């Protein structure tokens, strides 16, 4: 199967800011989409990618992240639910909590996230699974799950970071519909 790198929508595109719809049937179209999403995520490169980011309002995301111990966490989450532990109190750490998003490319802002998450989802083979996550993987799940509800991480930032993000987005003339970038073709400065 030929895989394709898909254009990634940039903040301001309506599909990123609206709740996505459940996947009704895992057919060839969905299997193809998942393959293309892996290809796109790998080319970006990124550790997670949600269907709305490639323009499709579907409740589906992929992730591929290798932890500090070299263990790879890779999977497809179709129609997921996510349970999270209460988020820690206090200010986010500038280094430890610095998060990014392929739909706000080249920018990073610190955000406090819950440290534990339980993902329940269907894989591309149609099987249901459950996955407990801690730390950065829990963060990836929260970030990608938010995409399915039309929420970007920049929407969740605390005041100071929020201001910086709004400024950066305005400076790059984002925040309006119709913008995308394609990994391997468009090179965005970090
Ligand atoms: Zn994102």
Neighbours of ion ligand 1 (CB under 5 A): 101
189 pLDDT band (50/70/90 cuts)?
low
Q: Which sequence positions are flagged as catalytic?
A: 144
DSSP labels for 129-164?
EEEEEEHHHHHHHHHHHHHHTT--GGGG--HHHHHH
The pTM of this model reads: 0.96
Say if residue 190's pLDDT is above 60: no
Q: What is the DSSP letter of 31?
A: H
What pLDDT shows up at residue 89? 87
- Residue closest to 50 by CA, chosen among 72, 86, 78, 29: 78
Query: For the chain, which residues make up each domain, given as ranges?
Result: 8-173
Question: What is the rounded average pLDDT of the residues 163-187?
Answer: 94
Q: For the segment 42-77, what is each residue's pLDDT rounded down to a tens digit? A: 999 999 999 999 999 999 999 999 999 999 999 999
- Region 8-173: CATH code: 3.90.45.10
Kindly give the distance from the C-alpha atom of residue 17 to the centroid of ligand 1, in angstroms, as a whole number: 12
Kindly give the distance from the C-alpha atom of residue 41 to the centroid of ligand 1, in angstroms, as a whole number: 11
Q: For the segment 116-150, what is each residue's pLDDT rounded down to a tens digit? A: 999 999 999 999 999 999 999 999 999 999 999 99
- Residue closest to 106 by CA, chosen among 15, 18, 10: 10
């Amino acid at each position: 199967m030929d895989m394709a790198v898909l254009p990634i929508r940039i903040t301001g595109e309506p599909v990123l800011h609206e709740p996505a719809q459940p996947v009704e049937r895992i057919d060839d179209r969905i299997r193809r989409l998942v393959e293309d999403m892996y290809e796109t995520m790998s080319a970006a490169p990124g550790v997670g990618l949600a269907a709305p980011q490639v323009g499709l309002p579907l409740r589906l995301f992929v992730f591929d992240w290798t932890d500090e111990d070299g263990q790879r966490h890779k999977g497809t989450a179709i129609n997921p639910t996510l349970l999270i532990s209460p988020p820690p109190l206090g200010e986010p750490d500038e280094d430890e909590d610095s998060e990014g998003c392929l739909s706000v490319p080249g920018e990073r802002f610190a955000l406090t996230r819950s440290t534990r998450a339980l993902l329940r989802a269907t894989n591309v083979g149609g099987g249901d699974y459950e996955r407990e996550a801690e730390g950065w993987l829990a963060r990836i799940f929260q970030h990608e799950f938010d995409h399915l509800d039309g929420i970007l991480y920049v929407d969740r930032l605390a005041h100071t970071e929020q201001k910086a993000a709004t400024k950066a987005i305005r400076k790059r003339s984002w925040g309006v519909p119709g913008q995308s970038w394609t990994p391997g073709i468009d090179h965005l400065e970090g």
